């Protein structure tokens, strides 16, 4: 097969959360004025890609997400991960056979502190925390239930849950359903003390990512460890009911932090010295910072009082940082991804640049590179600080600044990849007008990059990692904040003479796993790793 050769760069623009769906009242992508994208889809090679379920290593029918989407693109193949890997670990017993599980149970059942034989009084508390839904993107409530059951079978009688409310991967105001499910489940254990101790929305409490807003983590720490928050309630159900009245229309993801107190007005479940905490998120990006807070000795991000990392036995569902191997104790060992695109290109001497803003920087670097922040020879990363205000108030996000950095560097790197977060981050608010603005900002920026690519004699490949912005209303017309299982676009914008030298390859069920090989062929590297799925194009 002949090799392609371009004077200019090969640019991969990832439109986060921009899927394909019929035009309709809930489709912010089709409703936006995107003249460049529309023309590119009509006039250049264009193929719809699978970006969910088994195509990205998840269980069939599971919506895709940014983590697995970037993993799959960068790895060149679908790797069993996310909920698929965790479900398998529960099914085989790997979770409960792990040293981390055994260590947590032993910590809680320690009866060596002079209790005078009163074993129940001596028992410490086993805590659980994580995103509290069945969304299956970061976590699943069924995993929490299985662990509570096993802990009970192992002799634990005092358990507390610190619930991070979802509203993004599930319906925006669906938390009462999960609270009721949990309360019904916990009621089965009549001789045990199992209850929700605190809660807060994932966009206000605990679940920050990429160091965008450490105050979210600090609020979660205060809520879970110090028993301090702006709101106190007798139960989680009461909390949701009252907060809905105080803040009409507030989505679960934006609920403020609260603490549950008993008849004595004291917190019912602070995380205290000697306790164990299992963080049940399996996706790393919104779990790593709270893991750092509980496990790092040198921790500069907020004050932890006199806390020492040995005070609490912290367990993660899996490893949240493969470079630093945090946390030390984990229920499921991480997947190892080798032969990634960035490593392959580095071996060929091809220079690389990755650019995004904070909220998606880790996706276009860490996840794209096989769960590693380490840069290979010839690779550079640029992060632009995201706004900390609500996304719907600044829906253009840092799209222009990302574009500026890319344009400044297009003549310096052969392969440039970037992530525009607007379709996903604004789409998660289900605010139609704001998401339209996000899409229009992205379209303007793509046109700027395309013009420079034409000038330099390169190629612009436009793709998405999963759907979201194209489906902001569900079948009943209600707001939808979650990802979708829709296919995503892949457009190869090429105005060079090479455009006539290749065509779409007859790939069966093309998906994100075909992106790495496609980039390699465009870069003139036809002998890509055999482990990769084939390229979407073939050179004539």
Residue listed under structure tokens 């000795």: 297
* Residue 156 CA: distances (Å) to CA of 104, 152, 159, 188: 10, 5, 8, 14
Beta-carbon contacts of residue 153 (< 8 Å; ≥ 6 apart): none
- CA dist 97 and 103 (Å) reads 11
Residue 301 DSSP symbol: S
Residue 49 and residue 51: Cα distance in Å, rounded? 6
d(CA 348, CA 345) in angstroms, rounded, equals 5
Catalytic residue check, 386: no
Contacts of 39 (CB under 8 A, 6+ apart): none
Report the interhelical angle of 141-153 vs 99-108 (nearest 10°).
60
- Helix, strand, coil shares of the chain as percentages rounded to 5? 35, 20, 45
Neighbouring-strand partners of residue 194? 159
Separation of alpha carbons 453 and 416, rounded Å: 11
Place of tokens 């690389």: 352
Residue 146: strand, helix, or coil = helix
Which residue carries 């981390």 as its tokens? 100
User: Do the strands 126-131 and 193-201 form a parallel or antiparallel pair, or are they unpaired?
Assistant: unpaired
Of residues 5, 30, 52, 66, which has the active-site annotation? 66
In DSSP notation, 307-367 reads --TTSSEEEESS-SBTTTTB-SSBSSPPP---S-HHHHHHHTT--EEEEEEHHHHHIIIII
Residues taking part in catalysis: 66
């Amino acid at each position: 097969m002949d090799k392609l050769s371009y004077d200019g760069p090969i640019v991969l623009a990832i439109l986060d959360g921009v899927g394909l769906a019929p035009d309709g009242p809930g489709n912010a992508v089709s409703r936006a004025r995107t003249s460049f994208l529309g023309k590119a889809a009509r006039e250049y090679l264009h193929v719809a890609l699978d970006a969910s379920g088994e195509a990205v290593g998840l269980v069939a029918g599971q919506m895709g997400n940014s983590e697995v989407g970037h993993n799959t693109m960068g790895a060149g193949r679908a790797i069993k991960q996310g909920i698929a890997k965790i479900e398998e670990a529960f099914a085989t017993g790997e979770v409960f056979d792990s040293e981390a599980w055994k260590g947590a149970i032993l910590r809680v059942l320690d009866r060596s502190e002079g209790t005078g034989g009163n074993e129940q009084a001596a028992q410490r508390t086993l805590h659980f925390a994580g995103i509290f839904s069945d969304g299956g993107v970061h976590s699943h409530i069924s995993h929490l239930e299985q662990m509570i059951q096993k802990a009970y079978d192992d002799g634990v009688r005092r358990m507390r849950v610190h619930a991070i409310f979802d509203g993004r991967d599930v319906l925006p105001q669906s938390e009462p359903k999960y609270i009721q499910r949990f309360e019904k489940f916990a009621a089965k254990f009549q001789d045990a003390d199992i209850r929700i101790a605190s809660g807060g929305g994932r966009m206000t409490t605990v679940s920050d990512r990429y160091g965008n807003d450490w105050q979210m983590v600090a609020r979660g720490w205060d809520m879970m460890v110090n028993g301090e928050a702006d709101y106190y309630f007798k139960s989680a159900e009461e909390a949701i009911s009252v907060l809905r009245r105080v803040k009409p229309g507030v989505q679960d993801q934006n609920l403020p932090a609260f603490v549950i107190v008993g008849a004595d007005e004291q917190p019912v479940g602070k995380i205290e010295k000697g306790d164990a905490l299992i963080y049940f998120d399996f996706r790393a990006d919104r779990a790593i910072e709270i893991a750092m807070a509980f496990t790092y000795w040198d921790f500069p991000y907020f004050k932890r009082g006199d806390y020492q990392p040995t005070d609490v036995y912290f367990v993660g569902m899996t490893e949240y940082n493969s470079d630093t191997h945090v946390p030390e104790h984990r229920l499921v060992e991480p997947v190892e991804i080798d032969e990634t695109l960035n490593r392959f290109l580095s071996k060929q001497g091809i220079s690389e640049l990755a650019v995004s803003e904070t909220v998606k920087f880790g996706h276009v670097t860490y996840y794209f590179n096989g769960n590693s922040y380490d840069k290979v020879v010839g690779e550079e990363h640029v992060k632009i600080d995201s706004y900390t205000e609500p996304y719907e108030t600044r829906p253009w996000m840092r799209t222009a600044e990302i574009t500026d950095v890319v344009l400044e560097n297009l003549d310096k790197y052969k392969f440039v990849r970037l992530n525009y977060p607007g379709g996903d981050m604004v789409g998660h608010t289900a605010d139609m007008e704001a998401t339209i603005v996000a899409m229009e900002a992205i379209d303007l920026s793509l046109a700027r990059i395309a013009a420079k690519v034409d000038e330099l004699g390169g190629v612009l490949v436009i793709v998405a990692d999963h759907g979201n912005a194209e489906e902001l209303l569900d079948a009943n017309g209600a707001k939808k904040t979650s990802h979708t299982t829709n296919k995503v676009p892949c457009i190869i914008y090429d105005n060079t003479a090479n455009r006539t030298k290749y065509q779409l390859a007859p790939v069966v069920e093309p998906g994100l796993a075909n992106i790495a090989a496609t980039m390699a062929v465009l870069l003139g590297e036809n002998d890509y790793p055999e482990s990769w799925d084939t390229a979407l194009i073939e050179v004539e």
